[in-house]
Structure 1
Amino acid sequence: MDHLEVPVLIVGGGLTGLSAALFLRQQGVDCLLVERHRDTTFLTRASGINSRTMELLRNAGLEETVVGRSLQLIEGKRWRELGQPTDQIPWVVLRARNLADIKQAMIVEEPSLDMSDVSPTRSQWCGQDKLEPILRDEAVRRGADIRFHTQLESFTQHADHVEALITNRTTGEQTTVRAAYVIGADGVRSRIRQALDITSTGHGSLGKAMSVLFKADFDPVLQGRRFVISYIANPAAPGVLQTFDEDRWIFGFFCDAHRAGGDDFGPERCEQIVRTALDIPDVPLDIQLTQPWEMSHNVADAYRSGRVFLAGDAAHVHPPAGAFGANGGIQDGHNLAWKLAAVLKGWAGEELLDTYQQERHAVGAEIADQAWMRHTFRLNDDGELGAKLIDTKVVAVGHRYSSDAVAGPGYPTAIPRELTLKGEPGYRVPHLWFDKEGERVSSVDLAVDGFVLLTRQDGAAWATAAERAAATAGIPLTAHVLGTTLTDPEDSLTEATGLGSGGALLIRPDGFVAWRSDEAADDPQAALTEVLDRLLARPGRPATAQ
């Protein structure tokens, strides 16, 4: 039997696990990923990639690749005004009685694609079948050890490591793996979550569903109209129709709505349901796949147990309405990756890892609720629920953290009602365009591999102090004095944040503001040393921010 030692073992090779591997390698941390399936998924499934996730992929050098493989989307309003350009598809959610009705259907949601005021990126529609290979290939290129058709058999936690047994399902060969930490990204039915006896809270199962992948030519019916998702409100066979690619579609429906016809949902039965729902008795259909699944709403009560962490669907699962699931999993992986890197490289204390639970559990629970409310509202047009929905733009980039890794006040909710990015601790840094050696760079792009301190020339003492404090502690930190290493001709930093004279912003490796001071300090190096030690739970310092 082979033996292997690795800093981080990742179990699960979907979007969450693959992105975690990518982000760990981006931080210079070795990792092994095992996935029981033979390859990445061939189903589109999660497709909506929001601007916050695109920021993370942009900082990993993948923005251009993802955009190139995505459907080209335009605002629903422009779609109507321009008369549906044939080379672009609007990201809209429609309510229609059948396929033909889509031409006149009411648009009930129009997530904004224009994020230029808050992000250097824009949302994309890139199916999971396209995004997973992108993440895998880049993670491997950066040095990640990724093994498909390999499954986790068991694991045991010890004081300073986790001992795991994995099996190559092709050869039967087994390997023992000694890892400092384990990330459980093994999906809705997570064996890791079950082994840890971690309970979940939520509405539970919302129903058994079926997804039908089929090929069809709908042009004669749609007459040139195109869309991404359409809610089909046909009383005889309600469901959701989604674009897969140029000539293939996915129709999803709850099985209970068709239980009277029997429990067999084979290809013939599914074809009958699709024809009834879309009212297309004579259009040729080529059924290529039928896949059952269960829609549910649950959030794990703990994201960490010792040296094992849950991420993605293993930690939170909810209806697909809003396209929040994959984004949440990718962002889980990024939040965890930089913190694991900090601890493994010795510039942060073990307690920093507790802030993964503090930050991502609160966000995950509230986003799961937003998804459940969207799903229920779309089905029932419940006005009371509709009033509780928070704009997708706010959910995507406006969430905030209250944790020991943020030096600021705690917030009553993780997702505010309004979008307020003003450089406050716990929020993602506001998107501002600076000039760096003749190139345009966003403030969101600055903090990738370490901390960044931003200040103006009257706060230059903060920059010098930050570099000295970080060098002494071995913390990766870059200080930028606007007007020197970066230029800000419009003084956008002051306008956006209200930063006082001589003030400074400290930005974490995930782009979130960790601390700010609106004025100078008598001893800036001592002040920053205390802040960094506290935020990073460095030995001998209190872990709780004040």
Structure 2
Amino acid sequence: MNETQVAVLIVGGGLSGLAASLFLRQQGVDCRLIERSTSTSQLLRSTHVSSRTLELFRTVGIQKAIHDVAEKVILGENWTRSDLPPHQLPRVILRARSLQDVADGDVIVMEAGTDDFTEVSPAEPVWCGQDRVEPIMVREAERRGARISFTTEMTSFSQDSVGVTATVRDRTTGAEQVIRAQYLIAADGAGGKIRPSLGIGRTGNGTAGHVLNVLFEADLDSILGGRRFLILYLSHPDAPGMLFKLDEKRWIFGLFCGPEEIADGRLSHAECANLIRTATGVADLEIRVDSTLGWWMAHEIADSYRSGRVFLVGDACHVLPPTGGFGANAGIQDSSNLAWKLAGVLNGWAAPELLDTYETERRPVGQATADQAWLRHERWSGPGGDGLGQQVHQTVITTGYRYLAGALVGGTSTDVLNPELNLDGSPGSRLPHAWLSLNGRRLSSLDLTGEAFVLLAGPHGAAWTEAADRIADRLGIPLRAHLVGPDCELSDVGGAFLDASGIGGHGALLVRPDGFVGWRSAIAVQDADETLHEVLRTMTARAEVPAT
């Protein structure tokens, strides 16, 4: 049996696995992805692409491609309008007894997003099925050099102190191959075999219920009278579930049911159509059912995100109800966090201990995100959801969360999720967004991230940028440095970035490749070389390295 070598083997070709391949290739890391399915997802679960996820996609050049095939998400108070342009969906969650009640305005508004994202991010969230997102990710990952093999499954693996040995099988031909990798990423989903084979358990509130997703086509717009929404909870006792529009023709109805109904083929397409008629209250509705997918909702977090050289991402490490649309976005952000750290270790500019910070940073975020999804599930799915805890704003969950410890220096945050969104440039938070100009080209401060560390200093911080160049060269760390100000190379004419980041005229901050602030100083220091040397050495978990 032949053996091939690869730096990182990714098992699972859903959104989290594909994101891992994209971000690893962004860092120049050799990777191979295997997926047992014959192609990208055809049966849909994930639809909400958050602004933070689109920021990450922006760094690898696919934001526009996704935006072009997506439904646009707009402010929630517009849901009652009947004259909205095509492909626009209000950011609103409703509960009603029937479609006619929605048309009549007889609904309960569970959540209505009214925030304008333009002050927070260069990317607006969109509503886009993963059947459209994943092919875009595959094309870009392969263009960047990732090797992606569908119809391929891992049949066994073992690890030792220096790597992982996996046996994979082509499900069409039966041919087997041995892959030797330095690290393995388990992106094989909530029901995957890798996590339990490592002896990693899960804790949480357990299974919340079972859902049968029915993908169908029907003319619901004429019944709704132009009313639109992201999700509509329908409360008919014989067919409770949630309805959402996928694109100009297709809808998904998620039937809340028992475990027996989610078995493949348990309900015929005709039976599913009748359930949709019951749920919507439209007895003569013409429906064409395309496909069904059964799945289970749960609130569970893996007890560990890592075992040796194997790392869990996405649903493999956190399972949460779909309320809020957090799950897939959290998985993509898992992969972003892990990719640059693997790159640092594989390329020699970071110590292996840096990989410990993946769990240190991402598990508390996963726990807090799952808790918020559970809170929304309990509140949205039926009456009596008050008093369950504090529901934090969606943008705080997807973008404003903070790392309390890990690959950062000087963080002072005590809560992963603050009650209010506060992207202030402090260590552990996502870099504040501001529009800047570089050589006449308009760009967001976040566009500077992705491939390397970035040091941004105030207009009088030349000592910081000069020191950054010397220290990066000495430590072999990929780092770009810029002065930011009204008359600097990186022009901040109105001073928006300097105000938002807290660095003033003489300070600086250091941004990690994943867009999170790792360190900040609001003032100049006597020895910038020594300070930055110690900061970078600490952030990359390296043992003492002489500063000169």
Q: Same fold (TM over 0.5)?
A: yes
| Cα contact 2:47–2:246 (8 A) shared by 1 | no
Q: What residue number does 2:542 align with?
A: 538
User: Counterpart of 1:408 in structure 2: which amino acid?
Assistant: G
Structural mapping, 1:73-472, within 5 Å = 73-80=73-80, 83-86=83-86, 88-103=88-103, 104=105, 105-112=107-114, 114-256=116-258, 265-382=267-384, 384-385=386-387, 388-409=390-411, 411-472=413-474
Shift of residue 340, structure 1, vs aligned partner? 0.5
Pick which of 171-180 and 110-119 moved more: 110-119
| Cα contact 2:411–2:426 (8 A) shared by 1 | no
Q: For residues 484-503 of structure 1, what are the alpha-carbon distances to aligned partners after superposition, in whole Å with 9 as ceiling and x for unaligned?
A: 32111222233223325521
Give the TM-score of the pair, scaled to structure 2.
0.94
Q: Aligned partners of 1:441 and 1:248: how far apart in 2? A: 35
Q: Aligned partners of 2:86 and 2:67: how far apart in 1? A: 18
Q: Aligned partners of 2:6 and 2:424: how far apart in 1? A: 40
Q: Aligned partners of 1:177 and 1:385: how far apart in 2? A: 52
Pick which of 191-200 and 404-413 moved more: 404-413
The change in CA–CA distance for 1:220 and 1:70 in structure 2 (over 3 A counts) is closer
| Cα contact 1:374–1:386 (8 A) shared by 2 | no
The change in CA–CA distance for 1:166 and 1:264 in structure 2 (over 3 A counts) is closer
Q: For residues 349-403 of structure 1, what are the alpha-carbon distances to aligned partners after superposition, in whole Å with 9 as ceiling and x for unaligned?
A: 0001111001110101100010011011002344534651100111121001122
The change in CA–CA distance for 1:84 and 1:410 in structure 2 (over 3 A counts) is same
Q: Aligned partners of 1:410 and 1:354: how far apart in 2? A: 20
Give the TM-score of the pair, scaled to structure 1.
0.95
Q: Aligned partners of 1:409 and 1:244: how far apart in 2? A: 41
Task: Check if 1:521 corresponds to 2:528.
Answer: no
Q: What residue number does 1:504 align with?
A: 508
| Cα contact 1:33–1:147 (8 A) shared by 2 | yes
| Cα contact 1:13–1:33 (8 A) shared by 2 | yes
Q: For residues 59-97 of structure 1, what are the alpha-carbon distances to aligned partners after superposition, in whole Å with 9 as ceiling and x for unaligned?
A: 110111010010133222234367434553323211111
Q: What residue number does 1:60 align with?
A: 60
SS of structure 1 residue aligned to 2:21: helix
User: Counterpart of 1:78 in structure 2: which amino acid?
Assistant: N
Q: For residues 24-66 of structure 1, what are the alpha-carbon distances to aligned partners after superposition, in whole Å with 9 as ceiling and x for unaligned?
A: 0011011010000100111232011111101000011011101
**Identical positions, percent:** 47
Q: Aligned partners of 2:234 and 2:26: how far apart in 1? A: 43
The change in CA–CA distance for 1:158 and 1:386 in structure 2 (over 3 A counts) is same
User: Counterpart of 1:27 in structure 2: which amino acid?
Assistant: Q
Residue correspondences, number: 539
Report runs of 4+ in structure 1 exceeding 6 Å deviation. none
What is the alpha-carbon root mean square deviation over aligned residues? 2.0
Q: For residues 236-274 of structure 1, what are the alpha-carbon distances to aligned partners after superposition, in whole Å with 9 as ceiling and x for unaligned?
A: 422111213323222112224999xxx953333323322
Q: Aligned partners of 2:59 and 2:211: how far apart in 1? A: 36
The change in CA–CA distance for 1:76 and 1:31 in structure 2 (over 3 A counts) is same
User: Counterpart of 1:336 in structure 2: which amino acid?
Assistant: L
Q: Aligned partners of 1:222 and 1:432: how far apart in 2? A: 39
| Cα contact 1:534–1:541 (8 A) shared by 2 | no
The change in CA–CA distance for 1:9 and 1:25 in structure 2 (over 3 A counts) is same
Shift of residue 408, structure 1, vs aligned partner? 1.7
Structure 2 alignment gaps of length 5 or more: none
Structure 1 alignment gaps of length 5 or more: none
Q: For residues 416-459 of structure 1, what are the alpha-carbon distances to aligned partners after superposition, in whole Å with 9 as ceiling and x for unaligned?
A: 11111111000011111111111112111112211111112322
The change in CA–CA distance for 1:374 and 1:220 in structure 2 (over 3 A counts) is same
User: Counterpart of 2:138 in structure 1: which amino acid?
Assistant: R
Q: Aligned partners of 1:380 and 1:298: how far apart in 2? A: 21
The change in CA–CA distance for 1:89 and 1:133 in structure 2 (over 3 A counts) is same
Q: Aligned partners of 2:61 and 2:278: how far apart in 1? A: 45
Q: What residue number does 1:485 align with?
A: 489
| Cα contact 2:80–2:227 (8 A) shared by 1 | no
| Cα contact 2:27–2:340 (8 A) shared by 1 | yes
Shift of residue 215, structure 1, vs aligned partner? 2.1
Pick which of 403-412 and 476-485 moved more: 403-412
User: Counterpart of 1:319 in structure 2: which amino acid?
Assistant: P
User: Counterpart of 1:535 in structure 2: which amino acid?
Assistant: M
| Cα contact 2:43–2:291 (8 A) shared by 1 | no
SS of structure 2 residue aligned to 1:297: strand
Pick which of 439-448 and 9-18 moved more: 439-448
Shift of residue 539, structure 1, vs aligned partner? 3.0
| Cα contact 2:11–2:188 (8 A) shared by 1 | yes
Q: For residues 94-113 of structure 1, what are the alpha-carbon distances to aligned partners after superposition, in whole Å with 9 as ceiling and x for unaligned?
A: 11111211111343212346
| Cα contact 1:44–1:130 (8 A) shared by 2 | no
The change in CA–CA distance for 1:385 and 1:397 in structure 2 (over 3 A counts) is farther
The change in CA–CA distance for 1:69 and 1:158 in structure 2 (over 3 A counts) is same
SS of structure 2 residue aligned to 1:417: coil
Q: What residue number does 1:494 align with?
A: 498
Q: Aligned partners of 1:18 and 1:181: how far apart in 2? A: 16
| Cα contact 1:113–1:123 (8 A) shared by 2 | no
